[in-house]
Each structure stands twice: as C-alpha cells, then as structure tokens.
Amino acid sequence: MITHHEVLETNEMIQHENLDVRTITMGISLLDCMDSDTEKLKTKIYDKITSSAKDLVKVGDEIGNEFGVPIVNKRISVTPISLVTSGHGQKGCIEVAQTLDKAAKEVGVNFIGGYSALVQKGSTKGDIDLVRSIPEALSVTERVCSSVNVGSSRNGINMNAVRKMGEIIKEMAFLTKDNNAMACAKFVVFCNAVEDNPFMAGAFHGVGERDRVINVGVSGPGVVKAALEHVRGADFETLCETVKKTAFKITRVGQLVALEASKRLGVPFGIIDLSLAPTPAIGDSIAEIFHEMGLEHAGAPGTTAALAILNDNVKKGGVMASSYVGGLSGAFIPVSEDHGMIDAVNAGALSLEKLEAMTCVCSVGLDMIAIPGDTPASTISGIIADEMAIGMVNNKTTAVRIIPVLGADVGDTVEFGGLLGYAPIMPVNKFGCEAFIKRGGRIPAPIHSFKN
C-alpha cells in the first residue's frame, strides 16, 4: 500500500519542483499521402493529421488531470517533408507547410515538427527545394518546425549543406526581423538526427517508424536540483546515486503517461525521451543543478564534468524505468530557456566556446543562442561545422539552433516569449572562416578505430 510519505513526495515534486511531462508527441507517417497533384497531396496530409490527432489534446489533458501531473505540450511530428513533396517544387513545399500549420491549429497542438530534409550525404532535387523554401515556410507559418540533418558518423558531413544552412539562417532572421528572428527558433541543424525525438524544434517521424506512434518527453530539472539539496557536500558516489534515483522516478511517470495515452488513442507506444528540459521558470533550470553541485555559475571550470555526470546518471536511472528509451535522452542546455544559463551569460561566466565544449557530453548541442545580427553567414556555417564534427566523431547527436538577431548586438536582450524564453546576445569569435566554408563538398566519415 502506498504510504503517506510517498504521496507527499510525489506531490511535492509536482507542486513545488516543477515536475511535469514535457510533451506527448504523436508521430504520423505521411508517406501514404504522396500524390503528383499538389492539391490532393495537401488534402491527404490535412485529413491524415486531423483524423489521427483529433483526440490528442483532449486525451493529454484528461490524463494530466487524473494523475495530477501537468502535461505541458501536445505535439505532432511527421515524415520528413522533403520525401513527401519531392517533385512539387519550392512553391508546393510552402503550400504544404501552410497545410501543416492549418492542421496543427485544427487539432490544437502548439508545434508540428518534420518540415525536414535528411541530406547528410547529398541532396535530391526535392531536398534542395525544401531547404530553399524553409525561410519563407517558417515566416508564413506559426507552428511549423523545421530541421535539416547535414551529417552523420556513418556518412560524414555534407559541407555544401552546412554552407547553405548559414545562408538560410540569415535569411530567416531577415524575414522575421520584426519578430526577433522567430523563424530561427523553429529551425535546427542536426548531425546524427534521431527518428523518434519528441522534442521541438527537431522532431520528425523517421522512415523506419510505423504509421503512427506515441513518444513522450519527460522533464524535471527542478526535481533533480531539490534532491541534490538533501546531499549538499556529499561525495560523487552519493551525488550520482541521487541523480539516478530521481531520474528513475521522473521517468516512471513518463512511462505511465505514455502507456495510458497509447491505450486511449489506440496508437502504439514508441519511446520515452529521458530528458531534463529546462524552462525559463525559477526552479526549472539545468544551471541551478550545476550551482547545487558546487559551481558558482554555469560555465565555470568543472561545468563540463558536472554536465557529464548529470547526463550519464539521468540515463542510468531512466533506462530501467522505461521499456523503450529513445529520442535525444539527456540534459538539454538551451540558453534562452534557462534563467540560470542567462544569468551565467550576463555574469560573463558562460561563452559560446564553453557551450560548445559542454555539447560534447550533453544530449544535444548549441541551443537557443542569440548572436549579433551582423554575424556573417560563413561564420554561422563555421559554428555549425564545428558542432557537426563533435557529433560525427563522437557518435552522438549534436544540433545547432542559433538566432542572429538583426539590429541587435552584444549587451542587448531579445524576448521570444513562452517556453522559448529570452536571451542575451552572445559574442561570436570575429575571425573569419569564409574560405574554409566556401570549399564545398563532403567531409568523409571518420575512422572509428585507434581511439584517442
């Protein structure tokens, strides 16, 4: 029988430590919607999404209510759109983006991911059309999220695509300059992208997936921080055990919610993404965990080690709590979505270079980082190339979601609103890399022997 103490502990996590299920994401394959006629394609896509996900928000809210745990977001991921719109040209791609936006609004989800292309080895005509359409597509829609996978450990890095990414990020920033470059916040560049990620902006429904699937992303940095408060000053063994036990409990809630959602929606359960995803709220921060571990600020020497401990033990604790683990799984380190990270940047403790080092051991990469609007496209491509190289060599997913804000410079702050938070503009290394990026071609896949 459940004890009074256990009930109090769970409700303390929910009410005071920001425990929530961050997202229930329904993956929907659009491969069976393909049609040579753009109008028919759009109709099929709209009908499939709105019929598959018509109860998603209602069921999510019901489950949240019955278990007494907030389910913050209900979202949809779809097949990488470049596969579906191939042959429809750039205009067709944009029309499909608007269809996705309309379908998302109809079913009430706040984001729909998968306006994506996988070009790690090379691009088809359909991929090129989609990639070129991304800036306009993200500026004329509200809820569509986009991603491009430009590298993998198996294939190397498509540097033509990396060059193009710098250009389209600048274009997106220009097209949404009156809205703090919002389009850039909905766009991610990946190396080793995963097919079952439930988190935005990088979610898409991979081609190896079944027709429809329920993936759930858990969260709870505040719960980990609160647990660590009880072992302040203890050794690393105690620290790691505490993180593991907490991650287990958090993940079990995610597993329960995922199974219940799967049952009620009649859609198979896919994976739990064991992530610590911060929000701008106080007490829901990864940087606060670092502080609790003993660092004055995120970015201080020791931060990479602290993040490695956190990431590894979240996985160790979470894996046993769920029957299927997948997605990105680990700790996210977005700047704008974590008030502790923002404070660290403002205090001069956290630089872009330190964040890059941290991405070697975190779950994803450079995330929600605002930079000066006059940063050249080649420099953005250079930052992306560095991040992709970390992913490629280390066999991990890395990503870049970077936001050049036109008219803003170091010292300014931009507001994105809601879960996306606000961000101080971070300084970028001023030395050029244009000739390097201009080379074009592909970086060959790395050797995975002789590890040093």
Nearer to other proteins, 9 or 37 (CB): 9
Shortest approach of other proteins to residue 224 CB, angstroms?
Answer: 14
Q: Angle at Cα 132 formed by Cα 370 and Cα 151, nearest 5°?
A: 70
Residues at the interface with other proteins (CB under 8 A): 1-2, 4, 6-11, 62, 65-69, 249, 252-253, 255-256
Residue type, 223: V
Q: How far is the CB of 212 from other proteins (least distance, A)?
A: 24
* Nearest approach, Cβ of residue 104 and other proteins (Å): 26
Whole-number minimum distance, CB 244 to other proteins, in Å?
A: 13
Which residues are paired to 24 by β-bridges? 74, 216
For other proteins, the closer of residues 128 and 256 by Cβ is 256
Q: Say which residue the tokens 């996900």 belong to.
A: 53
Q: How far apart are alpha carbons 391 and 106 in whole angstroms?
A: 37
Q: How far is the CB of 57 from other proteins (least distance, A)?
A: 16
Enter the DSSP assignment of 410.
B
- Closer CB to other proteins, 91 or 245, in the complex: 245
Closest CA to 118 of 149, 93, 90: 149
Cβ closest to other proteins, residue 262 vs residue 303: 262
Nearer to other proteins, 143 or 249 (CB): 249
Query: Phi, psi (5° rounding) for residue 307?
Result: -70, -40
Q: For residue 436, give the amino acid letter.
A: F
User: Please, which residue, 28 or 218, has the CB nearer to other proteins?
Assistant: 218
Least distance to other proteins from the beta carbon of 167, Å?
A: 48
328: Cα within 13 Å, side-chain hemisphere: 31
How far apart are alpha carbons 205 and 209 in whole angstroms? 7
- For residue 383, give Cα distances in angstroms to 40, 87, 339, 436: 40, 32, 24, 12
Cβ closest to other proteins, residue 10 vs residue 50: 10
Do 354 and 301 meet the contact criterion of CB atoms below 8 Å apart?
no
Q: Taking the complex as a whole, how short is the minimal distance between the CB of residue 10 and other proteins, in angstroms?
A: 5
